[in-house]
Amino acid sequence: MEVGEQIKVFQEFIEKNYEPQLLESVRKGKEFLLLDFFELAKISPELAEELLENPEEILKAGELAINEFDLPKKIGKFYIRFHNLPESQKILINEIRSKHLNTFLWMEGVVRQKSNVRPHVITAKFECPSCGNILTVLQFEKKFREPSRCGCGRKGKFKELSKELIDGQGLVLEEATEDLDGGMQPKRMNVFLKNDLVSPITDKKTSPGSKIRVMGWVTEVPIDLKSGGKSTKFDLMIEANYIEPVEEDFGSTELTEEELKDIHDLSKDPKIYTKLIKSIAPSIFGYDKIKESLILQLVGGTKKERSDGTVTRGDMHILLIGDPGAGKSQLLKRLTVVAPKGRYVSGKGVSGAGLTASVVRDEFLGGWSLEAGALVLANKGFCMIDELDKMDKEDRAAMHEALEGQTVSISKANIQATLRAETTVLAAANPKFGRFDPYRTVAEQINLPPTLINRFDLIFPIKDLPDVKKDGRMADHILNLHRKPDDITVDIKTKLLKKYIAYARQKIKPALTDGALKEIKEYYIKMRSSGQSEESGIKSIPITARQLEALIRLAEASAKVRLSDKVTKKDAQRAIDLIDFCLSQVAKDMETGIIDIDRISSGIPAKERSKISVVREIIDVLEGEFGKVIPMENVVERAEEKGMKAIDVEDIIEKLRRSGDLFEPRPNFIQKLG
């Protein structure tokens, strides 16, 4: 097809299908027009075929066709962008070969790195000082080229008159793991964006962690050798024609009128909570309390930014600790499907840098660049961390700031940065010895540091205890699933559930009513005062301000589920029930029946703390009698007089020895340090 004919076909095509869009783009000052490939193929299959084989030439013809239109105002450079390319043009990054050079393709992947926007020279004009001739040099390579000689015979220095610049930006696109076969390593490819593709609106779509679809063609990039020549090997780069996001977070989910109607109808259903609980993980039997809390976690509380700069997070974190085979990992995997922008990581395959951020040498643009980890990539989304107890101690410590402060600070090489990590975390772990011991408290069996546990709003122990009725129902459920894998009836389909959650999270900002505030305050004060034990005089701390904030977040989430702008007394009661359920399972003292938050938040319950202070007092008194070195039997004897058991005293002395308060100068004698 001749160039004139190509321009004519483009003119007819745009006039027939896209003239209103073109006029609107010009009016708004946009520099591009987005066309549908299949629409072009209907009008001219020949031109569509040529576009796939030789995109650069055909797109230039399309741009020339735009200039033929009688537009309301003069436009400069105007670009044609194509989307909806055929499935046959989809390619995986690891399948790109030399035969694909300069053909129109599309691929999907996750943005791993992004460079700054920088101007690039495309053409430069020079004047010959001898004859005044104007020479234009196209700039295709990395190195800036000057003319080698003029028509008048002059070689050497020419005067630069002007150069045409375009905005350019580099991305590193990595294959999505779901597109790979087992054992394959995800490959990366550099993508070059220019002109309107680096506008602030597009910039938001291409932030690290976003999953995008890139339409463009593969070009070769010459490699310069250290000796000064060119290498026979070339690098590959994708020159993008159009970019569209594949995976949307809560903030950018678009809803149709019909979907909005379905969402509002569903919110008015009096059985909305029951329906959501049944639909959230239909293949997993039971766990209604956990499923209810997961729904509240999905919609989240309300983030509050105050005038003094302090921020209270709206995201709530949940920890599931349970016996093997209890379905924790299945719950996490299912939530990855339901939650927009959900990421799943597991145990030993996780490092601190992989969770937060790392500094890597940037091969594409030189220098150092930041590479975001899972918690940063899941910003405004969800991160599911399985096998939390199998992670290394140092790597777990990297999570502290991200869980409470919702930022990741990094200061390495020449990079000092604070990245946003407004991520909701759902974690799962096994008890200390693999399975729960029914004769010991749950708190003693959680093999995680108290500082990390403290940051979780809800902690659910999942015990797998034999129960004939329950086991029979579970067996029926699992066997039916295997016999009829698709025989799961749910009230709300996954697609609508995802949109419902996105809408509630995006649009609803409930305010606390007086009734809800009163209910939460009464519960908090009642719990705080219940820590006093009459007989022993021990003051345990049943609940702290952290649980109070968790109560508010849960109550707000409960209102969001109903798409209500007011947090009622009933919402507060639902939050109280969930917190109470967790505390009674995790923090209750078996002997006194009192809830003591110190069991999980500091690892030392109030009762034990009280015993430690008694032993310390005894040691201080005996130091006055015996001098610095005190016989152990005397300490045990005095403690027994105060009603303590000998075994408890020995345990406490051992703890004080390990913490560096005491040492043994000789067997069965103790001395205070310092």
Distance in angstroms (rounded) separating the CA atoms of residues 355 and 365:
24
pLDDT at 173 over 80: yes
Position 103 scores a pLDDT of: 84
Highest mean pLDDT among 72-76, 174-178, 456-460: 456-460
What are the residues facing 461 on neighbouring strands? Answer: 321
State pLDDT tens for residues 613-634.
778 888 888 877 777 888 888 8
pLDDT at 647 over 60: yes
Position 535 scores a pLDDT of: 44
Position 74 scores a pLDDT of: 64
State pLDDT tens for residues 385-426.
888 877 777 777 777 777 777 777 777 766 677 777 788 888
Q: Give the E-state strand segments of 8-157 in sequence order.
A: 32-36, 79-83, 104-114, 118-127, 134-138
Q: What torsion do the CA atoms of 14, 19, 21, 24 make, to the nearest 10 degrees?
A: 140
Q: What domains sit in the chain, N to C, each tagged with a CATH number?
A: 3-84 (3.30.1640.10), 93-247 (2.40.50.140), 257-298+313-457+487-504 (3.40.50.300), 606-672 (1.10.10.10)
pLDDT at 660 over 80: no
In the structure encoding, which two tokens stand for residue 190, read together? 């550099």
Position 287 scores a pLDDT of: 76
Decide: 248 and 204 in contact? Cβ < 8 Å.
no
In the structure encoding, which two tokens stand for residue 221, read together? 């990039």
Q: What type of residue sits at position 232?
A: T
Position 534 scores a pLDDT of: 44
pLDDT at 108 over 80: yes
pLDDT at 590 over 60: no
SS3 226: coil
State pLDDT tens for residues 291-341.
888 888 888 888 877 888 777 778 888 888 887 777 777 788 787 777 777
Greater confidence (118 vs 364) lies with: 118
Position 388 scores a pLDDT of: 80
Position 489 scores a pLDDT of: 67
pLDDT at 552 over 50: yes
pLDDT at 248 over 60: no
Decide: 191 and 170 in contact? Cβ < 8 Å.
yes
Distance in angstroms (rounded) separating the CA atoms of residues 653 and 404:
35
Q: What type of residue sits at position 238?
A: I
Distance in angstroms (rounded) separating the CA atoms of residues 555 and 547:
12
Greater confidence (362 vs 654) lies with: 654
SS3 592: coil
Q: How many helices (H) and strands (E) does the chain have?
A: 24, 25
Given its phi and psi angles, is residue 156 left (phi above 0), alpha (psi -120 to 50 degrees) or beta?
left
In the structure encoding, which two tokens stand for residue 288, read together? 């209604």
Q: Which residues contact 434 (CB under 8 A, 6 or more apart)?
A: 324
Pairing relation of β-strands 382-386 and 342-346? parallel
| Confidence tier at 201 by pLDDT (50, 70, 90) | low
State pLDDT tens for residues 508-538.
888 888 888 888 888 888 877 765 544 444 4
Burial 246-269 (b: 16+ CB within 10 A, else e): ebbbbeebebeeebeebbeebbee
Greater confidence (208 vs 513) lies with: 513
Decide: 614 and 649 in contact? Cβ < 8 Å.
no
Q: What is the average pLDDT across 130-159?
A: 74
Distance in angstroms (rounded) separating the CA atoms of residues 76 and 362:
35
pLDDT at 24 over 80: no
DSSP 281: S
Q: What type of residue sits at position 636?
A: V
Position 632 scores a pLDDT of: 81
Position 536 scores a pLDDT of: 45
| Confidence tier at 506 by pLDDT (50, 70, 90) | confident
Distance in angstroms (rounded) separating the CA atoms of residues 351 and 45:
51
Decide: 530 and 588 in contact? Cβ < 8 Å.
no
Distance in angstroms (rounded) separating the CA atoms of residues 324 and 622:
49
